[in-house]
Each structure stands twice: as C-alpha cells, then as structure tokens.
Chains A and B, each alone.
Chain A
Amino acid sequence: MHFSARQTWLTPVLAYVAAALILAFLSHSLPRMLPGDFVTAMYGASDVTLTPEQAAGLRAQYQDDSGFTAFLGRIFCLDWGYSHAFLAPVSALFFDALPWTLVLMVTAHLLSSILGFVLGVEAAWRRGTRMEKAGVGIMTVLEGIPELCSGVLLLLVFALNLGWFPAAGAQTAYADHTFVQQVADRLHHLALPLITLVLAYFPGNFLLARAGMVMVMKSPFVLTARAKGLPPLRVRYAHAARNALLPLVTRLGLRFAFMITGALVVETLFSYPGLGTLLFNAIAMRDLPLIQGIVLAASIMVLGINLALEFVYILLDPRVAHAS
C-alpha cells in the first residue's frame, strides 16, 4: 500500500470528521430515546396544572424537535438549547466557563510538558547516577496517584489546615481590586488546582521523555555530534532531544481523553468555575440540555486539538510524510 503525502493528512482529517459526526449523532439521538418529554418530567408529579397552551409554550421553549441536519446547523450557529437549571442559553453558560478552563488546562499542560521534557532529558543524560534513579522512582510513584487523591490531599493540607490557599473559586467575589491585585488574587486561587494537574501530568511526560531520550542517545548521530566536539548542551538539545520529542507528542494525543477526566475532577474538587464545575452542576441538577451542550462542544474541541497534534507530529517528523 502506497501512502502519498496527501493521504498522510487526509486519513486523520477523515477519521476526525467521522468521529465528530458520530458524537453529534449520539448527542442528538440519545436524548430522543428517553421516554416522556420536558413537560412531563418537570410538571408531571407537581401540583401545577398547565393549560394546553402553556404546555405547548413550554415545549416550544425547552424542547428541541429538529432533525439531525437541522441539529448540525444549530451547532454551528451556537444555538445549543436552553438550560432549565440556570435559566440561560447553554452557549452563554459554556462561553462564560470556557476561559477559566482554558487558563487552567493550558498552563497545566505547558508547565508539565516543559518541566517533564527538560527534566526527562537531563535524567537520561545522567543515566545510572543515584540522582537519576531516585528521580525515576519518585516519578513512577507520582504517576500512580490519581488527581482525585492528590487533589483531596492538597485541599486538606494547604487550603483547610494551613490556610495558605483558598479552598474554592477562581477569584475573591466583589473585591475592590486594582489590576495587579486582581491578577495576584486569581493566581492565588489558581495555584492548588494547577499544582494538582501538574503533579498528575508531569510524571508521565518525564518518564516518556526520559525513555525516548535514552533510546535516541544510543543512535550513531549522537556519537558523531559528541565526537565533533560540540558542547554538551548543544548535543543534548539541538541534536538528541528533538528526536525524543516525538513519542511525547504521540502519547499526548492518546492520554488527552483521560487528562480531561482528571481536569473535570480537579475543577469540581476546587469549585473552579470552569467547564468541569458547570458540568458537575448540570449533572447534579439533571439539566440534560446543558450536559448535552457541554459534552458535545468539549468533545469537538478535544477532536480539534488532537487533529492539530497529528499535524504537529507530521511537522516534527518529516519521515511520516514521506513514509511508504
């Protein structure tokens, strides 16, 4: 089977479009398989008696009877339904929560990737020393502690017992802060959820970067670079470490779905006002349109990020594009 350069990018794009369609179809059809409708669910067991006009009005307001193609169109128009728990449009709620999640997730990923990569490369360079062995040991243990557990421990120790960090929220409500104070306040609130996520993501990156680097360091070109008398830093980063990046990027895509689960838990744990907490509240209040909207929008964002990663991989490794 011959793979041309065009096929290397066409295959992932097709797979991701198919995945997005399947997700959209499921979130369109699953709610329709439930018995009853909005009016029976909300007013069936209450003392309120609705006139037929009122019932029809409520159905028109909260219920969505459109077919699948119309549903797809509405996704693009950001018309994702109306949340009956928050009494607001789902898209408005989603975009209110999104920035907080993005700040948390992007910072956590950047910190844990850079830290994990640099420390992993350095550890592989010092392979066999006592420091390196201890580092690998600590990272393996950390890799075994889920966000749920490390988050609970951090919350108990640093927020509730020592009181160094706030236990909930993303900023002090109604505080009259200057801009600098506000940034400091938000960072203060961000610290614990961020540390929990970094502790969860960083060991995996470290172990992968180290394993990749150890293998790269066996290749002849590293020996050549050293024999040429290049400074160690240049050999390490300009020559060897770039090649150790590849497994890191591939595994990131695979681990992403589980990282999201962790982020949901961490946001809920620290009541951080992002998508995770919004989803948790939606689940607790059985607000089905909101759950549906968040799940679909978040999934499509994840698909977009994973697709982008595939292209980053092709860019990083030209061998993929020319593979036969």
Chain B
Amino acid sequence: MHLDAGHRIWTDPWFLTGASLLGLLFCLAVFGPVLTPWDPYDTSFIPLDPPSARHWLGINDGGMDIFAELMSGLRNTLVFGLTAAFAGLVLGSVTGLFAAWKGGWVDQILMRLADIVLAIPSVMILILLAAFFQPQPWVLALTLAALTWPTTARGIRAQAMTLKNRLHIQAARHMGGSSRYIIFRHLMPELFPLYLINFAAKLRMAVFMEASLAFLGLFDPSLKSLGLMISYALKYYYMDIWVHWLMPPVLLLSFLIMGTTFVTISLERVFDPRLKTAL
C-alpha cells in the first residue's frame, strides 16, 4: 500500500509543482550568498538606485542591495519555518505516540492538555512575547512549536491507536517484543506519511506566521525577513520602484506558501485513507 502511494505521489502534478517550487527556493536560500557579491547589511550604495547589471534589483532607501536583502530574508524566513515545523512535529509525534501507547490516565492527561493548548490562539502569545521581550527568532519559532504540537499529537495518536490493535503489532507483542522495540520498529515507521503531511502543513503555517509578524513589526528590525521587506517597500508605493523592490518579496513569499500548500494538499490526498476517495 505504501509502495503504491509512493508511486502515486511522484506522478501527482500538484506534488511535483510544489516540490519543485520548494526545491528552487531552498536552493536560492542556501546558495543565495554565492549568487550575489554584496552583503545585505552594507549600506554604502546610492539609495533608491534602479536595477543595473551590478545590482540586479536595485538599491533600497537605506542604500542596501535589494537582491542580497531578498536572499537573506528568504533564508531567515525558511530557517524560522523549518525550526518551528521540525520542533512542532517532534513534540507532537512523541506526545501522540506516547499517549497512544500508554493509554489510560497518561493518555487522558496528555489529550486534555492538548485540548487546552489547542484552544489558546498562538498568535496572541507570540505577539505578547515578541512585543515584551523582543527575543531571537528561534525562541519565537520554538514557542510556536510549543503551541502547535496538539494538532500533530491528535492525528498521530488516532492513527497509532488503530495500529496498536492490528494483528502484526499484537503478534510482535505476544512474541515478547518490548515497548521500545515495537514503538521504534513498527509504530514509528508505519506512521511515516503522517510526519510528511504534518511537517508540510506546519512549515506552511510557520512561514505565514513569520512573514505576517515581521510585517507587523514584531521581529528584530535588524534581521532581514520577507515580511519586513514588504512592510518597508510599501512606504514607497507611490514611486515606480515597487516593481523591483516590493514585488520580489511578495512573489517569493507567495511561491513559498504555494509550494507548501501544494505539497500538503497532494500528500493529504494520496496518504490520508479518509480522503483517498475524495480525489
């Protein structure tokens, strides 16, 4: 069944489009500094200079190279997204697996805790933290992860509960397999598609959050970010420099969110047994 799904995912045009978009953006983020000789924090250029062969996207109002800024912003946005998504996924999966395996009151307590955390609007906590303490982005990313694990935990727990009662797991148990052995050899690998779906969904949400919060001015203004670039460029909307200053971050952010959306939707369609009939 997994083999078949693995084949189906690679022939799904949505997945291929999304994955190539993401791949391209990842490459840009990784190799960005190699593509441009300029430092994004160097303010020694002529402010508001139009695009030229030396400065592909021109210069912003502070005398910084916009292309270098863009690469640095993309990288910061992606690092935030990946940190939050990975931490949230690990936290959620471990909690979900643990709750499903232990059952009983451990399960009850963890799932009630999940209900409570799920009810808290995560944006609000992030705004409070960012406004009061102005922490480093990774602190905010981990906070976001600490507030969004319950969705993953619920999904993983539900799936692990059904798996737990399947014949091959029962057999492994009766043959004397330890909890650790069964969790690591059987439960965790068999939930693999769920990790992918959750990771993609969380990455999308975290990137969206980072861009929005940076746009609202809640991130360290000295760090480049796509949201912050949009907010700065918007102040000069009445000049034609919006073509090379405002549009690039808007397009990159759209492609980033679009790529993760396509991947999430297509993974859900292929792997989610409940949605399988919906395609």
Contact = CB atoms under 8 A, between A and B. Distances in A.
A222 interface: no
Contact of A140 (B115, B127, B212, B265): B265
Contact of A146 (B108, B151, B257): B257
Interface string B131-174: 11100000000000000000100000000000000000000000
B215 A265 contact: yes
Interface in B163-188: none
Nearest to B120: A19
A15 B113 CA distance: 8
Contact of A288 (B131, B208, B253, B278): B131
A221 to B, nearest CB: 16
Interface residues of B, number: 53
Contacts of B20: none
B260 to A, nearest CB: 8
Interface stretch (A45-53, A57-65, A75-83, A277-285): A277-285
A116 interface: no
A148 B227 contact: yes
Interface centre among A145, A214, A269 (most CB of B within 10 A): A145
Contacts, number: 151
A144 B261 contact: yes
Nearest to A159: B237
A261 interface: yes
Most buried by B among A218, A257, A258: A257
Interface in B247-279: 250-251, 253-254, 257-262, 265, 274-275, 277-278
Nearest to B127: A295
A8 to B, nearest CB: 13
Given A152-B230, A260-B123, A22 B275 contact: no
Contact of A283 (B14, B131, B250): B131
Given A34-B132, A280-B217, A145 B257 contact: yes
B215 A268 contact: yes
A26 B125 contact: yes
B189 interface: no
B169 to A, nearest CB: 21
B227 to A, nearest CB: 7
A143 B261 contact: yes
A148 B253 CA distance: 9
A160 B216 contact: no
28 contacts: A15-B116, A18-B119, A19-B117, A19-B120, A23-B125, A140-B14, A144-B259, A144-B262, A146-B208, A146-B253, A147-B212, A149-B250, A149-B257, A254-B118, A254-B151, A258-B205, A258-B209, A260-B121, A261-B209, A264-B216, A284-B217, A288-B131, A291-B127, A291-B132, A295-B124, A298-B124, A302-B121, A306-B119
Interface of A: 1, 11-12, 14-16, 18-19, 22-23, 26-27, 30-31, 33-34, 140-141, 143-149, 152-153, 155-156, 160, 207, 210-211, 214-215, 218, 254, 256-258, 260-262, 264-265, 268-269, 279-280, 283-284, 286, 288, 291-292, 295-296, 298-299, 302-303, 306-307
